[in-house]
Amino acid sequence: MMVTGSNTTPMLRLADPSFQVEGQLDSHLLIHLGISQISFAIYNAISNNMVAYGRYSLTSEDVFAEAVGILKLDEWTRQQFSQVRLLVQPNDFVLVPKDLFDPREISTYLNFHSFKNVSGSLLFDRMDQMGIVGVYHLPRSGLDTINKLYNNLTVFASPTPFLQLAMREYNKLKGDTMLVLFDGKLMHVMVINQTKLLYYNGFEVEAKQDVSYFTLAVCEQLSISPENANIVAWGSTDDFEERMTTINYYFKNVQQGERPLALKFAPSLSTLPVFSEYPLFASALCE
């Protein structure tokens, strides 16, 4: 069902016919809070199946407060779940080698990266299999409001499940592979060579030309030939196809990404583009 309207009306709502609103104690609630929308999915961990999906637009500058209002009102998200995982777009996201990481130095890592004083809640996501830690910060008041909703809440930065799962699922491609995620105005770029992480950075995309500029700049920095590079891209934005066309102009081996290969999806979710909501779904498998 596609609906337009205020932020109290879902833009999209999909569910398996057998999905029951009540009694979700064996299910996980996955939430992705962006700048202009909030999306969520309900995951049955026993059957390894995504059974429901919903999306709302956000119109307020205080996205945390607006998100709380939506989550309280929606009949699906106001239930009790065995686990709740929240993905947020961080103001800054810095990778630190696991062996060098010190939790007491989080502000130092962020200050060095952004060249400005960092305030708010200082957080980090461990990615032990990759040997790295993602460091970021969020508005303290905003995070507190969502924490009060769920007593079993785990918070991740939106790049974290992308980095963890996409590298694991696409490390069989030969040569250098560039994995690209369009997350609203942000463009996350990861370059891998099988099981080795060569590069990660996040860029803010202002115009469609920025997409080709950043991808070519990464290739130049890593001495990768555009003719030989493999590119896999995901996105939840309306202009995903336009961005793919821009990349295709400079690169030969470009493909749109698919849903996480390690998960199953109810047939009713098949109307969602396969390249959309990768971090949201992948968060089901975050450790």
- pLDDT reported for residue 267: 94
Comparing 63-77, 139-153, 204-218, which segment has the lowest mean pLDDT?
Answer: 139-153
Percentage of residues in the chain having pLDDT higher than 70:
94
140: pLDDT confidence band, cut at 50, 70 and 90? Answer: confident
Whether residue 2 is predicted with pLDDT greater than 60 in this model: the reply is: no
Whether residue 3 is predicted with pLDDT greater than 60 in this model: the reply is: no
- pLDDT reported for residue 5: 38
Contacts of 23 (CB under 8 A, 6+ apart): 79
Task: Indicate the average pLDDT of the chain.
Answer: 88
- Domains, the chain, ranges and CATH? 162-256 (3.30.420.260)
- pLDDT reported for residue 23: 67
- pLDDT reported for residue 73: 92
Average pLDDT over residues 172-188: 89
- pLDDT reported for residue 134: 95
